[in-house]
Structure 1
Amino acid sequence: MTFAILGDTHFDFHLNANAPVTESLFDMRFKHFLEASPADVLLLPGDIGHYNTQNLECLKHLRRYYHHIVVTFGNHDYYLPGESIVSRYKELGGSAGASRARVEEMKAMIDAEEGIDYVDGTVIDINGIRIGGASGWYDGSLYISDGEKTHADVQSIWRWKMNDANMIHPTGTNGAKFDDLFHEQKYRLDAVYQQCDIMMTHVSPLSEWEQFKVMYNYQPALDQIDHKYSANHEALKEYRAFYCFDGKEYLENGSMKHWVFGHTHQRFHRTYTRQDGKTVDIHCNSIGQLVGKNTFGLKVIEL
């Protein structure tokens, strides 16, 4: 069975959120690379888009290309863009929180569709291949584990520099912490990591600065051309702390053969070798914005 990886679709980046998504309009935007790499199942590891109704319309159009679609939810799937949307989901969410209400609404919409599923502390079995996962979330470990910064330091960076602090409700101004959703998600990962062949999270399980050097094509030689290059690139490390979590315990002890993530808007592959000699292939294939990505293609794996 073949599985195509398409992360960070952000459908409202490409389509008018206030207009119906017709078949012809959807195909004009996406058909060229969907047909170029056919597969049985589509894996979409979060950041579907900012608007649930449009998200569902687009997932139904994707269903024309695949026997099955499995998604999880990313930070942008929690975003509430605009006061009217915040107010609406506050009424729906109550004490659980407005952003969580939006995700629960999206789950209910998906539950009503044939051939589209989500993983959120659950496992989906498709012809004997088990896909498990959850959103996963960043935990600040890229900084905290080496003693470089404290939890309070990372909280301050998140509060002042990350859209998540303002777009996910309750927001950072109301006492929310950058790792609240990590702690909320962890027990969901605990429930599935030994039960799946493919693990899917929105956030990378590799809490390593070396990963981002590879992913973002870090080139020390450019220091010789532009002395500001290194400083500017290292500044990205502050943001990358919110692009990963320490997933080593899951990689070392899980049943997965593949781990699929998104969030970075990059293409990435690494074969992770465990202490027992077994390997896990870790993949990211995110579209983000189509601008400058005329050669974008799907990543297809086979099990």
Structure 2
Amino acid sequence: MKSFDLISDLHLDFYVRDYWDWDKEVTPTAAQIIQAFAESIIPDSPSSVLVIAGDLGHKNSHSQLLLTFLAKKYDHVLFTNGNHDLYLFPNEKEHVIYNRSIERWQELKEMASEIPGVTVLDGNKVTINDVTFGGTSLWYDYTFGLKLGYSWKKLDAYWFSHFNDSNYITECPDFAEEMKKLDAIFDSCDVVITHVSPDDSRVNPRYRVDPMTSFYYFDGSEFLSRAKGKVWCFGHVHYRQMYINRGCLLVNNALGYPGELPFVKAMRVPLDKHDYYYGVTDDVENKE
């Protein structure tokens, strides 16, 4: 059976935050903690491919070390960035090094390219054992809130006043450009990876009338109409799900923040249709 392992929203900094030292790249203690963290998310019988659907952490040197450890256990590690991989915090070393969020992301891509077995997905694709993986981070487009009746102006004001992205990202990815990146590779991919979900039809009931939900999804209906037979991996929303929409298997296996959800390892995602078309369950392990 062909398969790969999936996880997202690692938020590494929250798991090693007591061991930060912003005057050094990685302290010995932090390195040990990161290695232990990496080992903790690897299943007992891992696949040969690990997919990370964004949000490694806030510090590139820590993300680099995490990827290095994971690449020792997997033949291939594929990842795209999430919004937290663009964060720059005032008065911390990352903000001193980079003036813009895109500079931080560019450095992480360069770091990752030097690790054997690691592939960054940023509008590109890679074929492994006859399976083509491709993706990009993508971004949210306010569609959810517009459908609730909010104006773009009100949603934008709400974003500025309530969402951390407005405080810690110097410039957000260009949504139209992200859509172009995905469109260029989509039809030839078996597995699609984005950080942001393309489908708001399965929003956590708790947030179905919350304007904040506008910043967690984009309208991917045009892509979903072409997605039959594909697997689409996403993260961003910390709500684990596995369900089928228009013949496409959509999967979220977000780790999330410590204590937010039960701790989870990377999950095995089958690539043989008969393995996932029967017995697929929604909202995997979401315990409030």
TM-score bucket of the superposed structures, by smaller chain: 0.7 to 0.9
Partner of 1:161: 162
Greater Cα offset, 234-243 or 107-116: 234-243
Which digits, 9 at most, give the CA deviation of each residue in 1:91-137, with x for residues without a partner? xxxxxxx0011111111111112100011111111122111110011
Query: What does residue range 154-193 of structure 1 map to in structure 2 within 5 Å?
Result: 154-170=155-171, 181-193=174-186
TM-score for both structures, normalised by structure 1: 0.80
State the SS of the aligned residue for 2:33: helix
TM-score for both structures, normalised by structure 2: 0.84
State the SS of the aligned residue for 1:263: coil
Which digits, 9 at most, give the CA deviation of each residue in 1:149-201, with x for residues without a partner? 1211110110100000010004xxxxxxx7x5322311111111112000000
Q: Percent identity?
A: 29
Partner of 2:250: 282
**Residues 233 and 252, structure 2, Cα contact 8 Å, conserved in 1:** yes
**Residues 125 and 132, structure 2, Cα contact 8 Å, conserved in 1:** yes
**Residues 72 and 201, structure 1, Cα contact 8 Å, conserved in 2:** yes
Cα distance between partner residues in 2 of 1:159 and 1:135: 21
Cα distance between partner residues in 1 of 2:63 and 2:219: 30
Question: Which of 139, 142, 163 does residue 140 from structure 1 map onto?
Answer: 142
What displacement does 1:269 show?
1.0
Q: Which has the higher helix share?
A: 1
1:269 aligns with 2:246: no
Question: Which of 265, 268, 271 does residue 297 from structure 1 map onto?
Answer: 265
What displacement does 1:295 show?
4.9
State the SS of the aligned residue for 1:264: coil
Structure 1: gaps of 5 or more residues: 91-97, 171-177, 219-232, 274-278
State the SS of the aligned residue for 1:241: helix
- Letter matched to residue 181 of structure 2: R
State the SS of the aligned residue for 2:95: helix
1:247 aligns with 2:231: no
- Letter matched to residue 60 of structure 2: N
**Residues 193 and 256, structure 1, Cα contact 8 Å, conserved in 2:** no
Cα distance between partner residues in 1 of 2:41 and 2:222: 35
**Residues 6 and 287, structure 1, Cα contact 8 Å, conserved in 2:** yes
Please, what is the CA RMSD of the aligned residues? Answer: 2.2
What displacement does 1:27 show?
4.5
Greater Cα offset, 25-34 or 11-20: 25-34
Structure 2: gaps of 5 or more residues: 22-26, 272-288
